[in-house]
Amino acid sequence: MIRYLTQRLAMMIPTLLGISVAVFLMIQLVPGDPAQVILGERATPESLKLLRQELGLDQPVYVQLGRYLGGLLTGDLGRSIKSHTAVSDDLLARFPATFELTVVSMLFACAIGVSIGVLSAVRRGTVLDAIGMTASLAGVSMPIFWLGLVMIMTFAVDFGLFPVSGRTSAFTYIPTVTGLLLVDSLIAGDLAAFGDVLHHLVLPGITLGTVPAAVIVRMTRSSVLEVIQEDYIRTASAKGLSERIVIVRHALRNASIPVVTVVSLQFGYLLGGAVITETIFAWPGVGRWLLLAVHARDFPVIQGGVLVVAVTFVMINLMADIVYAWLDPRISYQSRERS
């Protein structure tokens, strides 16, 4: 187990190195001059030249790349061109908000997706199955920006049930420990603050989790349909076990590996794809931060943000591999190492 984890962590190094180089080179192709964005349209050629020299933008691309990779080896992600603050400090301040939103969205997606998927598989061909498949198709088809605006207009503006934006109300104070406000409010023992944070998470969480929920519905349904046709399921039913026990204890666990794969991939996609949701709900996370950085041509921020999202994506897939072995003991890390 330890050897397998060590090998996987070692494989992350060339993967992340390739991602870093690719992102850096792609950013160089983005039109626009950061110095021009900072100084404005009325900047003189002399001031633009001085600022480019100060930022190192006048140097060849390979020199800039070498300086960037050298900084990564020491944990330095650089400084924001616009705010002059360390990119790592901004990431530490904003990543917990994105991570918390992503976790809540995936919990919602898993609860809805697995429940409807199992129900559709067990009641295949019935009205419940048709409703479940129609709902999943609608979930995949709806644009996130449209769904977010509809949620705001309906539940925030018309009915006033939920707040429009932000992580907490103006009167709520939570001492920062982890940056995850749900966790920090529990550490502080403030249940009112916990409820306020959860109240603010409902609309963006549902908006962001709708598409993953629809994908999980379809994957769960197909996996459970395949499993319930196996002989051991018929044997369990013949022994007199209730349908609930047969489905939950036997069918669902054996059908979970494809579902875990989808969940891990969707989790990674949400971390990098929360830009629209965070923008609509003014959520102070990495996605909205990266969008503002793109508009400002803030290259260090874009590079650092994408790298952190990539690291998180790779770590989530590593955790998914570990869950595979827990769900199915037939999966052997030793056999993977030999292969």
pLDDT of amino acid 17:
84
What pLDDT does 265 receive?
A: 83
Determine the number of helices (DSSP H) and then strands (DSSP E) in the chain. Answer: 17, 0
**Residue in 79, 112, 42, 139 with CA at minimum distance from that of residue 263:** 112
Token digits for 2? Answer: 């330890």
The answer to whether residue 97 scores a pLDDT higher than 90 is: yes
Is pLDDT of 142 > 90?
no
Other CB atoms within a 10 A radius of the CB of residue 153 amount to 12
Cβ atoms within 10 Å, residue 234: 12
Question: What's the pLDDT at 317?
Answer: 79
Check residue 332 and give its pLDDT: 55
Is the Cβ–Cβ distance between 204 and 277 less than 8 Å?
yes
Distance (Å, rounded) from C-alpha 276 to C-alpha 30?
A: 20
Residues 197/213, Cβ–Cβ less than 8 Å: no
Give 170-184 pLDDT, tens digit per residue.
889 999 999 999 999
| Exposure string over 81-94, b if 16+ CB within 10 A, otherwise e | bbeeebbeebbeeb
The mean-pLDDT minimum among 8-12, 127-131, 202-206, 303-307 falls in 8-12
Quote the CA–CA distance of 199 and 171 in Å, as a whole number.
14
230 phi-psi bin (left φ>0, alpha ψ -120 to 50, beta other): beta
184's CB contacts (< 8 A; 6+ apart) are 174, 175, 176, 177, 178
Phi and psi angles of residue 162, each rounded to the nearest 5 degrees, phi first: -135, 155
Top-confidence residue, 330 or 214: 214
Domain boundaries, the chain: 1-82+296-339, 93-286
pLDDT tens-digit map of 1-52:
677 677 777 877 888 888 888 888 887 777 777 777 777 777 888 888 888 8
Query: How much of the chain exceeds pLDDT 90, in percent?
Result: 32
By percentage, how much of the chain surpasses pLDDT 70? 95
CATH number of 93-286: 1.10.3720.10
309-328 pLDDT per residue, tens = 888 888 887 787 777 767 66
Q: Which of 28, 27, 33 is nearest to 52 (CA)?
A: 33
For 135, half-sphere exposure in the C-beta direction (CA atoms, 13 angstrom radius) is 19
User: For residue 252, what is the DSSP state?
Assistant: I
Cα–Cα distance measured from residue 181 to residue 98, given in angstroms and rounded to the nearest whole number? 11
